[in-house]
Amino acid sequence: MDPTDALALLMSPEGRLDPYPTYERLRAHGPVVQAGPVFYVVTGYAEADAILRDARFGVMDDALRDQFMPGWRESPAVLSISRSMLRTNPPDHSRMRRLAAGAFTPRRIAAMRDVVRAQADELVDAMLAADGPVDFMTAFAYPLPVGVICALLGVPAADRPLFRRWATDLTGVLEPEITADELAVADRGATELRGYFTELVAARRRAPADDLTTALVQAHDGGDRLSGDELLANLIVLLVAGFETTTNLLGNGLVALLDHPRAAAALRERPDLAPAYVDELLRYDSPVQLTSRMSTAPSRYGDVDLPPESWVIVLLGAANRDPRRYPDPARFDPWRAQIAPLSFGAGPHYCLGAALARLEAQVAFPLLLRRLPGLAVAGRPERRVRLTLRGHATLPVSVGREAAPVTVPGTRPGAAGPTP
């Protein structure tokens, strides 16, 4: 199949639901392939990693947006994302990233461990109290990350249910292709989120609190500040990036663990192995499957010359399954050496929330396996028909009965253990 047809297949509902066979069709043409006059697709791990770190590539700026997406300024969704750090280049990106990173400190993240554990325990209690199968996405995968990011941002608990619809609507604009109807839905989500955060920011200006919203409102560094628009855009990106992705890590990860009962049993006995498991789950079925870059100067990757103003789709999910980097890449194997998935990206836009997402999953999976040893899929899981943010709409599970707490052997992290 030629690269253009393979790409069309990837964008189709069938390709979005299971992109992995199409990635292999693209990979057959090489790690970087041309799929249109100035349009390239990257499936190779080394090439994806290098392009994301290469200063000759940036995210699409306003001038290119004017060229490729006329009328984008009329869309509240595109406008909002374009003003956040996710879609800006230096010097604006470096300034926003520095200010946000200053508020998003490792201390603030590490302090979330007990909050994550307490929230996960409460959600498992509720799952156990349910009479019959539950939807794992609604019962656990959504409320845990949303609870954690809302706790960080200082969003009142009562407002959390508002965000699921708004965020799901808005993230439609992260797809490589979007219909006019989907854009209208995304615009509605952006407008709601902007209205919500405008009020929250005003409240924190009046009465500062010990939360990330206050820290961002007050953020300044050597005279640099966030403008009003940038503040709102980055708060929205933090909220949206902070849970839809992690929700999908929890859903995709649980399915992978239940498909591999011996590996799941090993993690139940050895929670100290959670970091390696979570990285392998991120590699095996990445919650973010792609990102894109524009080139500003000529470059050459994978025997392909990329002229300036090339649009490059970096398929993170394909790079994570590059056989030159990972032997037998379609196999889930938490015992692999040197797992370093590109699921959080690389280079200047490397995910600001990677430590938080890892923390949530590292706490959640051992806790779920220990407290719900009978956890099993109890119906047909339904995937969202999305390519960029890969996850489930519903995942019905039965929870079995609660077991007595498992005694954890005093093992060293990273020590050799049973082969799952």
What are φ and ψ of residue 406, in 5° steps? -80, 135
Q: Give whichever of 240 and 399 is closer to ligand HEM, judged by the CB atom.
A: 240
**How far is Cα of residue 7 from the mean position of the Cα atoms in its chain?**
22
d(CA 378, CA 357): 26
Q: Minimum distance between the CB of residue 247 and ligand HEM, rounded to whole angstroms?
A: 9
Closest CA to 236 of 180, 174, 287, 286: 174
* Min dist. Cβ of residue 38 to ligand HEM (A): 19
Q: Give the shortest CB-12-to-ligand HEM separation in angstroms.
A: 23
3-state secondary structure of 377: strand
Look at residue 292 and give its three-state secondary structure: strand
Rounded Cα distance, 249 and 281, in Å: 8
The nearer residue to ligand HEM, 35 or 352, going by C-beta atoms, is 352
Cis previous bond, 91, omega within 30: yes
User: Measured between alpha carbons, how far is 325 from 328 in angstroms, rounded to an integer?
Assistant: 10
Is 292:174 a contact under the CB 8 Å cutoff? no
Q: Which is nearer to ligand HEM, 16 or 349 (CB)?
A: 349
User: Rounded to the nearest whole angstrom, what is the least distance from the CB of residue 351 to ligand HEM in the complex?
Assistant: 3
Q: Which residue is nearest to ligand HEM (CB)?
A: 353
Residue with smaller CB distance to ligand HEM, 29 or 289: 289
β partners of residue 396: 135
Contact at 8 Å (CB) between 127 and 399? Answer: yes
Nearer to ligand HEM, 144 or 306 (CB): 144
CB of 403 to ligand HEM, least distance (A): 28
Q: How far is the CB of 1 from ligand HEM (least distance, A)?
A: 27
Tokens for 61, please give them. 């700026």
Q: What are phi and psi of 309, to 5 degrees?
A: 65, 30
Cβ closer to ligand HEM: 74 or 350? 350
Binding-site ranges for ligand HEM (CB under 6 A)? 85-86, 97, 149, 237-238, 241-242, 245-246, 249, 287-288, 291, 343-345, 349, 351-353, 356-357
Q: Which CB sits closer to ligand HEM, 149 or 367?
A: 149
CB of 390 to ligand HEM, least distance (A): 9
